[in-house]
Amino acid sequence: MPRRSYKFKIGVLALQGAFREHIEMLQSLGVETVEVRLPHHLDGLDGIIIPGGESTSIGRIGERYGLLEPLREWALQGKAMWGTCAGMILMAKDVGMDQPILGVMDITVLRNAFGRQKDSFEVDLKIPALDAVSTRREKGKPFHAIFIRAPVISSVGPGVEILATLDDGTIVAAQQGNMLATAFHPELTNDTRFHRYFLEVVRRTR
């Protein structure tokens, strides 16, 4: 398929964590990016990414800067939002503990599901949904997923589509309309398919 032009402005929440890598990948696709630290930084954006990092810290800083409610409204208004790792935790309706979250996606998330930093791992995943944005050479190719102190999705609501699982059925990527969540870090690879997939979500929700 021919390379598409993405004339979007995408924000990346830049309070803590791996936001720089998302920005670099988006810019490699020709996308205008904004580092989001305050509510007014959301003005004029077409989509928002909540990166990996430490979910409790991101939530507390976001609360202090008055960002949580605007982000919650953003998602509930049907605008495109993608959370990776800690971002997925923040988007979930239930994380099994008391911490600041957005609670916008009908998923239950288990934090640090695989253990500590030393238990981080990489695995190739079959993700058929990515074929929609793949070139002929990329179609059917597994996605190399990097898990770093990763959460998992332990249950999903009826409106949630499961995009990827591990071999044992553990859910590691899902979508609910305008909202996308991944337990792993696509921004740490050279594969832009997940970012292109999110940009198609953006295109549909504009």
Catalytic (active-site) positions: 85, 185, 187
Which one, of 79, 51, 73, 76, lies nearest residue 181 by Cα? 51
Which one, of 20, 68, 51, 40, lies nearest residue 198 by Cα? 51
Greatest alpha-carbon pair distance for the chain in Å reads 46
Tell me how far apart the alpha carbons of residues 182 and 32 are, in angstroms, rounded to a whole number: 22
Burial 123-139 (b: 16+ CB within 10 A, else e): eebebebbeebbeeebe
Q: In this structure, what token pair is assigned to residue 94?
A: 């239930």
154: three-class secondary structure by DSSP: strand
